[in-house]
Structure 1
Amino acid sequence: MLRTRTWIRRLAPLALPALWGAVAVLWKLTCPIAQQEGTAARIATSVVFFTVGTGLVLGLRCGLVKELKQVRAVAQAAQLVLLRPPPPRLDGLSLAAAQLSAARGAAVGGDLYEAVGTPHGVRIVIGDVRGHGLPALGAVAAVLGSFREAAHDEPELGGVLRRLERALGRHLRERARDEHPASGGWDPDSPSAEEFVTVLLLEIRRDGTVLALNCGHPWPYLLGGAGAEPVPAGEPLPPLGAFPLPDELPVHRCVTLPPGGALFLHTDGAEDARDASGRFFRLRDVLDQAVRGAPVHPAALIHRVHSALLRHTGGRLTDDVALMVVRNDRCRVPAQSGDPGPCRTRPAPSPR
């Protein structure tokens, strides 16, 4: 019964063109005018069949457009579940994020981000899968799915990173088996030597301390009233999937985020974007102009960088771009317990 209804629904747009076609054939066979010779009869016949043909094309088009809209709605819902927007506020932090996909018609691509509140602090991941567009979604799903579980379960940031590595490894092995069924189901020694993911893991604690583990990803910018400064940190690890993680993971205590201070996270598609003449997008200059002497508003800053990036490239991106802003809206700890003091958001001091 369900299959019958499905077929009826699919064939419904063809009902009117089919009726028109039957009328045209009947007219040709039975109407005396259609059986006459001469210019007038030919013109009348042509008009009838042209009308029938137009109706048939329009009927097919309406059906295809309706089905395409349904497919797009389902795809958009699935993409939003995969790369859901972060909450505007999370444990005293204000957040905003956006992604630009290089694949036309796709809401997500090879970049990923997520922020979750945990007993260990707010943990954030941002990453970039090698390649872009829809083919990279499998690795994005593997890394994000693992992070959403590990961020709550693992007490140390290094444990989260190792869970991401294992999840990515499983995904690559499964994909290699699917692409090479002749392997007999055995896991290849190197499932995909050219597949890797750059990852930046952050943990923002209640006192504003920011811990970081970086696997080949661009470091964020620290934003304040004096402008944008790169976060001072050490040498990053290789990207996930390129080499095994070392036994000791260097967790960097890279910065303390003061009340009102913000971090700008991005993937390399932002700074590598070029215009028609080959000039790179000057991300730091855009951030400086946006925040110098003014408070940082995460959503407004994301919109400004997003618009500047599209203007610079003329809307023609060659790589996916992910952007995220995290602002500390927590109150400054009072000097004396008896004086709670006002809870205000102040611009961050100039980073040194």
Structure 2
Amino acid sequence: MVRIKAGIRRARSLGLPTMWGAMAITYKLACPLSQQNGLGARIVTSAVFFAVGTGLVVHVRRALLRELRDVRRVAGVAQSALLRPLPARLDGLNVAAAQLSAEPGAAIGGDLYDVVGTEYGVRVVMGDVRGHGLGGLDTVAAVLGSFREAAHDEPELAAVMRRLERALARRLRERARAERPAPAAGAAVEGPDTPDTPVTPDVPVTEEFVTLLLLEIRQDGAVRLLNCGHPSPYLLSGESVTALARADPLPPLGLFPLPADLVVEGCGRLLPGETLFLHTDGAEDARDTHGRFFPLPEVLAGAIEEQPQALLGAVFTALLRHTGGSPADDVALLVLRNDRQRPLSSAARPGSQRPQPASGK
């Protein structure tokens, strides 16, 4: 049935060009006027062929627009499957996220994020695949798929990160096998540097890595973080904008194995009314025509009282204005605002005071 419908669509797409071509040939061969050399005959002949050409151009344009709509619809489905829409509220947190691909015409790029509610707290992932655009989609799918399972299965945040590391390693091995298949049994492939040495398909052909941030917000507001080469989130509290993490990040995932002793950083508490702003490096590294970096902390300070959706809009508007509408890298933004009610005894609870995070840029 599908093949029949596809055949009907192909027949329809070819029908109009065939009809226009047949009209032009019939006029040239059968119409006596087309054989004359007078000015009037030439004008009529030109008009006929102009009409044929115009009809073909209009038909091709409509076909291309129809194909573009289909491609955009497929891209939208792919985006929903990979970067699925986040809930507006999750376990007392107000959530908003958006992303912008640097590749023209692409609905998604190499940035990834997700937020899930688990029995261990709200867990967040944000990452940036090496490069940008469509080339990193399979890596995005592998990392997000692993996170969505591990976030519910693993009690410890460090174990979630190790699951993501294994998922990325599997994907790189699969790509290596696809790009450089193993030789037949007993065969050796000679190369300029390693003669008579068989090619090992498990060695990646090209280097690939992912900067990755794992965040956990527990019911009492305690924030725990693991950072593999990703920009630190910003904490928006009162009138201040500060970098949340204090410890140096680990190397990006995929460059080196994770250390045996993986220490999760405690970052105090996210108190009611406070906001966490997560981003990829495409935001802070964006430059204007004079080479100046995008002043993200200043923009956040100017919109610190906004709700998450309005805060995203303010940052994206300022970013596009700064880059002239054409950012050079993918950009993903994620906002988490604590709208939980403040416990009455929170001020008197031991350890409720927040350690002062390091200042942002």
- TM-score, normalised on structure 2? 0.88
C-alpha separation in 1, matches of 2:211 and 2:13: 48
The answer to whether the aligner puts 1:57 opposite 2:57 as a matched pair is yes
Q: How has the CA–CA distance of structure 1 residues 5 and 289 changed in structure 2, closer, same or farther, with 3 Å as cutoff?
A: closer
Q: How has the CA–CA distance of structure 1 residues 226 and 350 changed in structure 2, closer, same or farther, with 3 Å as cutoff?
A: farther
Q: Partner letter of residue 239 of structure 2? A: A
- Aligned 1:31-70 pairs, distance under 5 A: 31-70=31-70
C-alpha separation in 2, matches of 1:143 and 1:81: 13
Q: How has the CA–CA distance of structure 1 residues 184 and 326 changed in structure 2, closer, same or farther, with 3 Å as cutoff?
A: farther
C-alpha separation in 2, matches of 1:18 and 1:189: 52
C-alpha separation in 2, matches of 1:184 and 1:126: 41
Identity %: 62
Q: How has the CA–CA distance of structure 1 residues 298 and 268 changed in structure 2, closer, same or farther, with 3 Å as cutoff?
A: same
The DSSP-based 3-state class of the residue aligned with 2:107 is coil
After TM superposition, the structure 1 stretch with the greater mean CA deviation from structure 2, 165-174 or 64-73, is 64-73
- Aligned 1:170-185 pairs, distance under 5 A: 170-183=170-183
C-alpha separation in 2, matches of 1:14 and 1:193: 43
Q: How has the CA–CA distance of structure 1 residues 25 and 190 changed in structure 2, closer, same or farther, with 3 Å as cutoff?
A: closer
Q: Partner letter of residue 325 of structure 1? A: V
Paired position in structure 1 for 2:76: 76
Question: Residue deviations 1:251-276, cap 9 Å, x none?
Answer: 01112100011101111111111001
Paired position in structure 2 for 1:219: 232
C-alpha separation in 2, matches of 1:75 and 1:53: 33
- TM-score, normalised on structure 1? 0.90
C-alpha separation in 2, matches of 1:248 and 1:212: 15
Q: Is the 8 A contact 1:219 1:265 kept in 2?
A: yes
Give the Å deviation of 1:170.
Answer: 0.2
The DSSP-based 3-state class of the residue aligned with 1:127 is strand
Q: How has the CA–CA distance of structure 1 residues 252 and 187 changed in structure 2, closer, same or farther, with 3 Å as cutoff?
A: farther
- Aligned 1:2-151 pairs, distance under 5 A: 2-151=2-151
Q: Partner letter of residue 120 of structure 1? A: Y
Gaps of 5+ in 1: 337-348
The DSSP-based 3-state class of the residue aligned with 1:166 is helix
The DSSP-based 3-state class of the residue aligned with 1:324 is strand
C-alpha separation in 1, matches of 2:28 and 2:202: 70
Give the Å deviation of 1:200.
Answer: 0.7
C-alpha separation in 1, matches of 2:72 and 2:243: 39
Paired position in structure 2 for 1:154: 154
Q: Partner letter of residue 227 of structure 2? A: N
Paired position in structure 2 for 1:339: none
Paired position in structure 1 for 2:284: 271
Give the Å deviation of 1:80.
Answer: 2.1
Q: How has the CA–CA distance of structure 1 residues 19 and 234 changed in structure 2, closer, same or farther, with 3 Å as cutoff?
A: same
- Aligned 1:178-193 pairs, distance under 5 A: 178-183=178-183, 188=201, 190-191=203-204
Q: How has the CA–CA distance of structure 1 residues 249 and 184 changed in structure 2, closer, same or farther, with 3 Å as cutoff?
A: farther
The DSSP-based 3-state class of the residue aligned with 2:303 is helix
Paired position in structure 1 for 2:222: 209
Give the Å deviation of 1:194.
Answer: 2.5
The DSSP-based 3-state class of the residue aligned with 2:236 is strand
Q: Is the 8 A contact 2:102 2:330 kept in 1?
A: yes
Q: Is the 8 A contact 1:95 1:325 kept in 2?
A: yes
The answer to whether the aligner puts 1:236 opposite 2:246 as a matched pair is no
Give the Å deviation of 1:225.
Answer: 1.8
C-alpha separation in 1, matches of 2:27 and 2:301: 74
Give the Å deviation of 1:40.
Answer: 1.2
C-alpha separation in 1, matches of 2:117 and 2:85: 14
Q: Is the 8 A contact 1:127 1:199 kept in 2?
A: yes
Paired position in structure 2 for 1:283: 296
Q: How has the CA–CA distance of structure 1 residues 19 and 189 changed in structure 2, closer, same or farther, with 3 Å as cutoff?
A: closer
The DSSP-based 3-state class of the residue aligned with 1:259 is coil
Give the Å deviation of 1:35.
Answer: 2.8
The answer to whether the aligner puts 1:297 opposite 2:307 as a matched pair is yes
Q: How has the CA–CA distance of structure 1 residues 125 and 35 changed in structure 2, closer, same or farther, with 3 Å as cutoff?
A: same
Give the Å deviation of 1:350.
Answer: 11
1:253 to 246, 266, 282: 266
C-alpha separation in 1, matches of 2:18 and 2:95: 55
* Root-mean-square deviation (Å): 2.1
Q: Is the 8 A contact 2:34 2:41 kept in 1?
A: yes
2:321 to 302, 305, 311: 311
